[in-house]
Chains A and B, each alone.
Chain A
Amino acid sequence: MSELIDIVLNAGFWAATLRIVSPLIFGTLGELICERAGVLNLGIEGIMTVGAMAGWMWVYQGGDLWGGVIFAAGMGALFGLLHAGFTVYLGLSQHVTGIGITLFASSLSYFVYRMLLPAATTPPKIIPFENIEIPFLSDIPLIGEALFNQSPLTYLALLSVPAVWYVLHRTPLGLAVRMAGENPVAVEAQGIDVLAVRTGAVMAGSALMAVGGAFITMSWFDAFYFGMVNGRGWICVALVIFASWKPGKAMLGAILFAGLEAMQVRAQQTAGAFIPYQFFLMLPYLMSILAMIVMARRAQYPQALLVPFRRGERVLTLKRSRG
């Protein structure tokens, strides 16, 4: 027990938590925007891989760091457009399309990586984002070291939570996005193009996911490995449900998961002699399943999630069949 307290009182633990949470926040917010518009985006895992590859490659080829982030976002938006083309315009199954996008996008990333670097045996490193120390605030013991000495992308992740909340809940555009996920016919009846709103939301959400992927290579591992996104996208999909589609709760859920992750790494070191380390690796996932059971029962699904909208179809009614 005292070991647990030692871990939690260590600034290194909090710094690690914030590092782990950054890609999760980007990914969860991205997924949340897509689903608020009524489109499940299971392409997230692949889009994060594309972001990781694209951002890293941009810098490796001599581009600057922020240019890499923007490039990654742009690539993410492109894959979002592809997903929207199938699911929004053609009304195909969002599950199948999403999984297809994930398989396609990650394979394409590995392929491009191999094409451009056929000879690399050890993944080449780039010079990543440097941590920014915020004067004075970073001198506060424990909190200061953890919170105010971080990568600029981590600050961006934390700032994007209120930004996404504001856009969704306080602007006409956000209202149109939320309405498109609740009742697309209502959006159509008010003279707004539902398909455009949904496509825009999926593209914006996918761009955020890709930035989350870029964080992993540009601010964490400094290199691109195969399989490095490692299921983070799927965690984001679960976090959206955990958060009941609310940005603030999404951040809390992400921090909870990241905290467990950071803790298990440290617990492995202290208790590793008695318990196989795989047990600790499993813990965050086990905890997130338990948290989902508790939280998801009360979750308020967007009513038109997974429901395609087709213009001019006869009888504009939606079948709502979720128990």
Chain B
Amino acid sequence: MSRLSFKGISKRFGSLIANDSISLSLEAGEVMALLGENGAGKTTLMNILFGHYEADEGSIEVEGKLLPPGSTEAAIQAGIGMVHQHFTLADNLTVLENIILGTESLWSWRHERSAARSKLAEMADSYSLAIDPDALIGSLSVGERQRVEILKALYRDARILILDEPTAVLTPQETESLFVTLRSLTDRGLSVIFISHKLHEILAISDRISVLRRGKIVASLNASEASRSELAEKMLGAAVTRPQLEAMEPGAAILSLQGLNAYSSDKLPLLENVDLTVYAHEIVGIAGVAGNGQAALADVLSGLNRNISGRLELHGKSLIDAGPAEFVACGIGRIPEDRHARGMIGDMAIWENVISEDLRSAEVSKWQIFVDKAAAVKRAKRLIEQFDLRCKGPLAQTKLLSGGNIQKLILARVLSPKPDFILANQPVRGLDEGAIAYVQEQLFAARKRGAAILLISEDLDELLSLCDRIAVMYQGSLSEAVPPAARTIVTSSAL
């Protein structure tokens, strides 16, 4: 008898078929990966399992017993625990409070705090998931928060643990330690469902792999027999090849930083003595673990941080006192790290976001005072076509787009004025294979045209395959940028 089996699960949202008669089973002590592109139906299936949604058809059995549909409480009772992609924790409450919520009768007169504390300590010890029970969630790192989510599930005696895109927010080091934890859990007989679209992680952690495409299971295979290219093809429905970097002679210096220092608003140093020159026809990568000053560098190059000293020049013209509008005007394109918070205004229409960087240009305004909506919509239409944006049209609300399409929209806005320098901060994070290939092609096209590109990423594979030169950022300082061949060994020891 399987620990868990899905029998013909179907779920529709309006005309969209999110899950199409899915049947799957999960055995004790194994890691099953659910692989699929964004929107393939992975999260929907897990939300049905955990009782957030009710399936239109089909049933779920846990240890041979029917799971009542649409009840989170019943799912927890049956031993199912879920680590959501967006953590379900309250920042202003403590770890202990977050964990014991729902474990006691609501009508009890007090918490069994000491019992909870010792159970938590015991668990933390035996699974080596150390955490301070009295820390506020808001003070924890992302990796620690995920640990709290896992402990929350284990505290309720979960036998089946669902992890929805657990590595999307983790650094490579945190991912490695998550994998160690998962292995120790499966050694004790827990079953894990691991959702991801990152092929190398899935191959590293899982025993079995099920591939979802457009709501259907298209393949189920053992991880030992699967290959990366085969999985990618199954997931995408066609072979996708990432573009290759074409050798090119660098041109004139476009952007140059010399002895650049940056400070936070309360005068703490963020960047120290940074030297960097980026030439035309060149992509320079910035490697390093998040939090070492990459965000500060991106802010400086976007014109958002003006507490700076040293030299910052574009085409030899100083930008040390310039603000964001001047940065854009003199030919700097900015692809921000957080495309939802900084890149786009979700509640506004696509055409409004498209013109947001040059509201007062002659093309989309009348006398620099009134917005020329007709011209703006026309421009949006042209870009939607040119950048193959999947949407209902220029008047659609931006937040309704998928992550990949929002990134395409940002590329459209940033790349269409043909900027000389492009800052690309984590441009492919969280995107699926098809969208990644698209973004990379666009960056290569810009490089070919003669743009200088600075690429900030935590993904070494990405940097090695995309960059002409790579520099490493560590505690606010930047190493010299050198070609990847020379850098490989150094980074692996530095990181």
Contact mask for chain B residues 87-101; partner A; CB cutoff 8 A; 1 contact, 0 none: 011111100011011
- A178 to chain B minimum Cβ distance, whole angstroms, is 7
Q: Which residues of B contact A317 (CB under 8 A)?
A: 86
A-B contact pairs, 19 of them (CB 8 A): A170-B110, A173-B107, A175-B93, A176-B106, A178-B93, A179-B97, A182-B92, A187-B101, A188-B52, A188-B88, A189-B82, A190-B88, A190-B101, A190-B102, A191-B71, A191-B73, A191-B76, A316-B52, A316-B84
CB distance from B476 to the nearest CB of A (A): 27
Pairwise interchain contact A172-B92, C-beta atoms closer than 8 A: no
Q: Is the CB of B91 within 8 A of A172?
A: no
- Expressed in whole angstroms, the Cα–Cα distance for A187 and B88 within the complex equals 8
Asked if B438 is at the interface of the complex by the 8 Å CB criterion, the answer is no
CA distance A317 to B43 in the complex (A): 13
CA distance A227 to B187 in the complex (A): 70
For window 309-323 of chain A, which residues contact chain B by CB distance below 8 Å? 311-312, 314, 316-317, 319
Which residue of the partner chain, among B70, B71, B92, B346, contacts A300 with CB atoms under 8 Å? B92
The answer to whether A182 touches B102 (Cβ under 8 A) is no
Q: Given A172-B105, A192-B102, are A303 and B111 neighbors across the interface (CB < 8 Å)?
A: no
Q: Determine if B93 and A182 form an interchain contact, defined as CB atoms under 8 angstroms apart.
A: yes
A300 and B93 CA atoms in complex are apart in Å by: 12
Interchain nearest-CB distance for A77 vs B (Å): 18
Nearest 4 pairs between A and B by C-beta?
A190-B102, A191-B73, A182-B90, A186-B88
A-chain residues with CB within 8 Å of residue B88 when the two chains form the complex: 183, 185-186, 188-190, 316
- Does B492 belong to the interface (CB within 8 Å)? no
Most-contacted residue by chain A among B13, B97, B346 (CB, 10 A)? B97
- Whether A171 touches B108, Cβ cut-off 8 Å, given contacts A176-B102, A316-B52, is yes
A312 contacts B54, C-beta separation under 8 Å: yes
Chain B residues in the interface with A (C-beta under 8 A):
13, 50, 52-54, 70-77, 82, 84, 86, 88-93, 97-98, 100-111, 152, 346
- Across the interface, which residues of A come within 8 angstroms of B101, CB to CB? 172, 175-176, 179, 186-187, 190, 192
Scoring A187, A189, A302 by chain B CB atoms within 10 A of each residue's CB, the highest score goes to: A189
- Measured in the bound complex, the distance between the Cα atoms of B50 and A316 in whole Å is 13
Q: Pick the contact of B110 from A171, A183, A303 — CB < 8 Å?
A: A171
* Contact between A314 and B13, CB atoms less than 8 A apart: yes
Alpha-carbon separation in the docked complex, A92 to B415 (Å): 41
Q: Which of A312, A314, A316 contacts B86 (CB 8 A)?
A: A316
> Which residues of chain B come closer than 8 Å to A179, judged between CB atoms?
90, 93, 97-98, 101
Question: What residues make up the interface of A, taking CB atoms closer than 8 Å to B?
Answer: 170-173, 175-176, 178-179, 182-183, 185-192, 300, 302-303, 311-312, 314, 316-317, 319
Enumerate chain A residues within 8 angstroms of B75, measured Cβ to Cβ: 191
Find the A residue at minimum CB distance from B18: A314
Complex Cα distance A173/B98, Å? 13
What's the least CB distance linking B266 to chain A, in Å?
A: 17
A290 to B86, CA, bound (A): 39
Decide if A303 touches B102 in the complex (CB within 8 Å): no
Instruction: State in angstroms the CA–CA spacing of A314 and B346 once bound together.
Output: 16
Q: Are B106 and A192 in contact (CB under 8 A)?
A: yes
Tell me whether B76 and A175 are in contact (CB under 8 A).
Answer: no
Known: A171-B108, A191-B102. A183 touches B90 (CB 8 A): yes
Taking the nearest CB of chain A, how far is it from the CB of B150, in angstroms? 13
**Contact in complex: A175, B111 (CB < 8 Å):** yes
Q: Are A303 and B92 neighbours in the complex by a CB distance under 8 Å? A: yes
Measured CA separation A175–B102 after assembly (Å)? 9
Q: Closest CB-CB distance, B398 to chain A, in whole Å?
A: 13
B residues in contact with A173, CB < 8 Å? 106-107
Identify A171's interface contact among B52, B89, B93, B109, CB under 8 A. B109
Residues of B within 8 A of A178 (CB): 90, 93
Q: How far is the CA of A317 from the CA of B73 in the complex (A)?
A: 20
Chain A residues with CB below 8 A from B71, complex form: 191
Question: Whole-angstrom distance between the alpha carbons of A185 and B109 in the complex?
Answer: 24
Least distance between B94 CB and chain A CB atoms (Å): 10
CA distance A191 to B81 in the complex (A): 11
Q: Which residues of A contact B104 (CB under 8 A)?
A: 172
Instruction: Determine how close the nearest CB of chain B comes to the CB of A159; give it in whole angstroms.
Output: 17
Say whether A189 contacts B90, CB under 8 Å.
no
Task: Write the chain A residue with the least CB distance to B97.
Answer: A175
Contact status of A186 and B90, CB under 8 A, knowing A172-B105, A175-B100: yes
Instruction: Give B74's nearest chain A residue, CB to CB.
Output: A191
Residues A189 and B84 in contact in the complex (CB < 8 Å), given A176-B106, A179-B101: yes
Known: A175-B100, A176-B101. 19 other contacts (CB 8 A): A170-B111, A171-B108, A172-B105, A176-B102, A176-B106, A178-B90, A186-B88, A186-B89, A187-B101, A189-B50, A189-B72, A190-B102, A191-B75, A192-B73, A302-B92, A303-B90, A303-B92, A316-B52, A316-B88
Most chain B beta-carbon neighbours within 10 Å: one of A171, A182, A191, A311: A191
Interchain CA distance A312-B70 in the complex, whole Å? 9
CB distance from B400 to the nearest CB of A (A): 11
| Chain A contacts for B84, CB-based, 8 A | 185, 189, 316
B184 to chain A, nearest CB (A): 24
Distance of A314 Cα from B53 Cα, bound (Å): 9
Distance from B474 Cβ to chain A, minimum over Cβ atoms (Å): 31
Give CA–CA (A173, B92) in the complex, Å. 17
**Chain A residue with the shortest CB-CB distance to B149:** A189
Smallest beta-carbon distance A119→chain B, Å: 48
**In the complex, what residues of B have CB within 8 A of residue A183's CB?**
88-91
> A100–B105 Cα gap in the complex (Å)?
36
Q: How far is the CA of A305 from the CA of B107 in the complex (A)?
A: 24
Give chain B nearest CB distance to A201 CB in angstroms: 12
* Interface-centre pick from A183, A188, A192 (highest chain B CB count, 10 A): A183
Q: Which residues of B contact A170 (CB under 8 A)?
A: 110-111
**Candidate in B13, B98, B108, B346 with the most chain A CB atoms within 10 angstroms:** B98
A172 x B106 contact (CB < 8 A): yes
Which chain B positions have C-beta within 8 A of A188? 52, 72, 88
Q: How far is the CA of A175 from the CA of B75 in the complex (A)?
A: 22
**Separation of A312 and B11 alpha carbons in the complex (Å):** 12
- In the complex, chain A residues whose CB is within 8 Å of the CB of B111: 170-172, 175
Asked if A191 and B72 sit within 8 Å, CB to CB, the answer is yes
CA distance A317 to B98 in the complex (A): 17
* Cα of A314 to Cα of B72 in the assembled complex, Å: 16
Task: Give Cα A155–Cα B93 distance, bound, in whole angstroms.
Answer: 31
A172 touches B72 (CB 8 A): no
Q: How far is the CA of A312 from the CA of B56 in the complex (A)?
A: 13
- List the A residue with the shortest CB-CB distance to B113: A170
Distance between Cα atoms of A183 and B87 in the complex (Å) = 10
- Asked if B53 and A312 make an inter-chain contact with CB atoms under 8 angstroms apart, the answer reads yes
Q: How far is it, in angstroms, between the C-alpha of A171 and the C-alpha of B103 when the chains are bound?
A: 12
Q: Which residue of A lies closest to B77 (CB)?
A: A191
Docked CA distance A311–B47 (Å): 12
Nearest Cβ distance between residue B436 and chain A, in whole angstroms? 21
Give the shortest distance, in Å, between A229 (CB) and chain B (any CB). 32
